[in-house]
Amino acid sequence: MPGINNAPDLYGDVENPQLVVFFAGNQFMCIDELLSGFKEKHPEYQRIFAETLPPGILAKQIEGGSLTMGNLRITHQPDVYTAGKNRITEMANYFDRTEVYAYNKLALMVPKKNPKKIKALKDLGKKDIRVSMPNPAWEGIGRQIEAAYKKAGGETLYETIMQTKVKNNRTYLTRIHHRESPLRILYGQSDVAPVWYSEAYYQKMIGHPVELIPIADEQNIRATYMAGKLKQALHPRAAADFIDYLASDEAKAIYKKYGFETD
């Protein structure tokens, strides 16, 4: 029943897992195939628990020791944590191994046929354009988008979208996850959402009525995704095997399928 038993960012076996992975949340569309491929290659690991929440929330879970969702408290610590390069670097003391495995960039998602005729980032500053914006407080993509605003229109565009339009409710800041943004586009609650390219690519891939508007390279960013093996991993061998798998051609093909870039 939607809204009642829906926990889309928790996967697999929460009871006695043989491997725990915290994924950067924008990779949710890859998880089923990644875990299936890993289990096929390593049949010794069949009980895997994974989360795909925003990296900031996952970092707090690592630092604070638990995740609370209503009445549910999960105390698992990850064997592997994946996030953007900046966050992995900030948390370097937690890891004894890190690997780069994929890349991404930004794009704009708009409703089918683009009714507001949005062409570029600067259009998000217009008064009548309703923006769905990942909250920079816990979404790594939020900070990346803020940097793109400054590239496209300087401090003026940034302040218009992130201050003026937040105050007058023309910019919506996500409460939990940038996964909210596609829903706001589909339900007609927002006119445009700056998202990861892979997110807009995936929504089109599954047939949702949206359009992908590219962002010019000179205004865009390239995100680097890294996996870190926790020094305190309870399943160190499984963690090492999983990072090896993420760096494999098989895993990279899965990421490419969903719009990510790989070397």
Q: For 93-110, write each residue's pLDDT tens digit.
A: 999 999 999 999 999 999
Higher pLDDT pick, 5 / 165: 165
Q: Rounded to whole angstroms, how far apart are CA atoms 177 and 184?
A: 12
Q: Rounded to whole angstroms, how far apart are CA atoms 165 and 170?
A: 5
Q: Rounded to whole angstroms, how far apart are CA atoms 258 and 23?
A: 15
Mean pLDDT calculated for residue range 159-167: 97
Q: Per-residue pLDDT for 212 more than 70?
A: yes
Long-range contacts of 245-253 (CB under 8 A, 24+ apart): 245/34, 245/37, 245/38, 245/41, 245/42, 246/34, 246/82, 246/99, 246/101, 247/99, 247/101, 250/37, 250/41, 251/34, 251/37, 251/101, 252/101, 252/102
Distance of CA 41 to the CA centre of its chain: 26
Q: Rounded to whole angstroms, how far apart are CA atoms 108 and 125?
A: 14
Q: Per-residue pLDDT for 3 more than 70?
A: no
Q: Per-residue pLDDT for 118 more than 90?
A: yes
Q: Per-residue pLDDT for 5 more than 80?
A: no
CB within 8 A of 195, min separation 6: which ones?
Answer: 106, 107, 108, 109, 134, 141, 178, 181, 182
Q: What 3-state class would DSSP assign to 49?
A: strand
Torsion of CA 188, 191, 192, 193, to 10 degrees: -40
- pLDDT band at 217; cut points 50, 70, 90: very high
Distance of CA 211 to the CA centre of its chain: 19
Q: For 49-71, write each residue's pLDDT tens digit.
A: 999 988 888 998 998 888 888 88
